């Protein structure tokens, strides 16, 4: 009897699967982003102008490439898995950056475009009324204005220039000061003439505002404190004055419209209504004595990715010239635009 039988060879151990190094294709990622955002294969197909089966194949190929499920598919619903949520968090900003780069490349090869972000009242009252002059000088440059009170991180966006309203401590080092803020009570020409003719109570001092409707800034941001009637009345020695009524509005241009329509007295931002004052559409009933300065100012920022584009530099230089004229109009002391 053979006491030393030949040993059977041990069964080979399972080898770990090699990690794939091949980059993911953009097409399936685009399909994945649409399905993840809409939680619908049909909705993604409609948005991307593909068939639902084409979307399903792209998602399946992506799942096979990654070796994991990205969605839990139900009869009437789709839900992201944990792996799907992880991929979505990375894919969305990457696709946004890709789309931004593609848009910029296309713009360079077609018409020249300058993308500007600013807040709604500044766009309505200061920027847009002046744009026609720029476009007469530069008919080959298109200006795209996005008016939004949300502060956008300039270098991580598609915008070239930002026009902001804030205090010096809240601006980047490369911000250029355009002009300061001065507040002044304003009324329509019609309302001022009624007061002069005795058809309304006179407007000779701050105390006379008790007979009028005051358009108040309805804004919870810290900078709104300096735009409030309470702040101005306190400086005028009338901290407890109550007007005939309050009209609460959350945008400056709405307050200006209320003043132009004779509905209220607006505590206007002088730099934004200087042209209406010059034309006589608005009147300062208390003259220069009613003006009050604020620590907040208007600023220009240029994104790093746009500094070398000629059209952006041309628009920036034009804005600085317009700001210089505004400083003259509001009587701001001559100073370098970059100083506080």
At 1-12, the pLDDT tens digits run: 445 544 444 444
What residue ranges define each of the domains in the chain, with the CATH number in brackets? 26-109 (1.10.10.10), 113-178+296-329 (3.40.190.10), 180-295 (3.40.190.10)
Q: How far apart are CA 39 and CA 80, in angstroms?
A: 8
For residues 142 and 111, is the Cβ–Cβ distance under 8 A? yes
Per residue in 107-146, pLDDT tens? 666 678 899 999 999 999 999 999 999 999 999 899 999 9
Structure token digits, residue 19: 């990690």
Supply the mean pLDDT for the chain: 87
Rounded to whole angstroms, the Cα distance separating 279 from 295 reads 28
For the chain, percent of residues with pLDDT exceeding 70: 89
Reading the block at residue 216, the tokens are 């108040």
pLDDT per position as a tens digit, 43-62: 999 999 889 999 999 999 99
- Give, in order, the Cα–Cα distances in Å from 47 to each of 54, 250, 274: 13, 36, 47
- Return the beta strands (E) in 213-311 as ranges: 213-217, 245-249, 265-269, 282-283, 292-302
What pTM did the predictor assign?
0.65
220 DSSP assignment: -
Give the Cα separation of 66 and 69 in Å (integer).
Answer: 8
The answer to whether the beta carbons of residues 203 and 285 sit under 8 Å apart is yes
Residue 280 has a pLDDT of 95
Kindly report each contact of residues 136-140 with a partner whose C-beta sits within 8 Å and lies 24 or more positions away, as own/partner.
137/318, 138/311, 138/314, 138/315, 138/318, 140/111, 140/112
Can you name the residues that pair with 115 across neighbouring β-strands? Answer: 144
């Amino acid at each position: 009897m053979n006491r030393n039988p030949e040993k059977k060879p041990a069964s080979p151990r399972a080898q770990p699967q090699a990690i794939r190094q091949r980059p993911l294709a953009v097409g399936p990622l685009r399909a994945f982003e649409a399905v993840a955002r809409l939680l619908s294969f049909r909705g993604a197909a409609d948005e991307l102008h593909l068939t639902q089966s084409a979307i399903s194949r792209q998602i399946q190929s992506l799942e096979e490439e990654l070796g994991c499920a990205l969605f839990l598919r139900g009869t009437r619903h789709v839900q992201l898995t944990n792996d799907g949520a992880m991929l979505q968090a990375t894919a969305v900003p990457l696709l946004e950056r890709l789309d931004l780069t593609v848009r910029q490349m296309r713009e360079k090869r077609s018409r020249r475009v300058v993308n500007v972000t600013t807040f709604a009242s500044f766009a309505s009252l200061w920027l847009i009324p002046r744009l026609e002059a720029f476009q007469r000088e530069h008919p080959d440059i298109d200006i795209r204005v996005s008016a939004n009170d949300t502060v956008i991180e300039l270098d991580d966006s598609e915008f070239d220039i930002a026009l902001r309203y804030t205090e010096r401590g809240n601006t980047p080092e490369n911000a250029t000061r355009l002009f300061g803020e001065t507040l002044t009570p304003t009324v329509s020409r019609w309302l001022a003439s009624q007061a002069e003719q005795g058809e309304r109570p006179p407007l000779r001092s701050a105390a006379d505002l008790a007979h009028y409707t005051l358009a108040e800034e309805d804004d919870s941001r810290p900078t709104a404190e300096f735009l409030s009637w309470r702040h101005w009345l306190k400086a005028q020695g009338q901290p407890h004055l109550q007007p005939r009524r309050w009209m609460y509005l959350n945008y400056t241009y709405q307050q200006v419209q209320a003043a132009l329509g004779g509905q209220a007295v607006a505590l206007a931002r002088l730099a934004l209504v200087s042209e209406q004052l010059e034309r006589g559409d608005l009147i300062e009933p208390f003259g220069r004595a009613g003006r009050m300065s604020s620590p907040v100012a208007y600023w220009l920022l240029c994104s790093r990715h746009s500094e070398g584009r000629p059209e952006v530099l041309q628009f920036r230089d034009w804005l600085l010239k317009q700001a210089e004229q505004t400083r003259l109009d509001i009587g701001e002391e001559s100073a370098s635009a970059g100083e506080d």
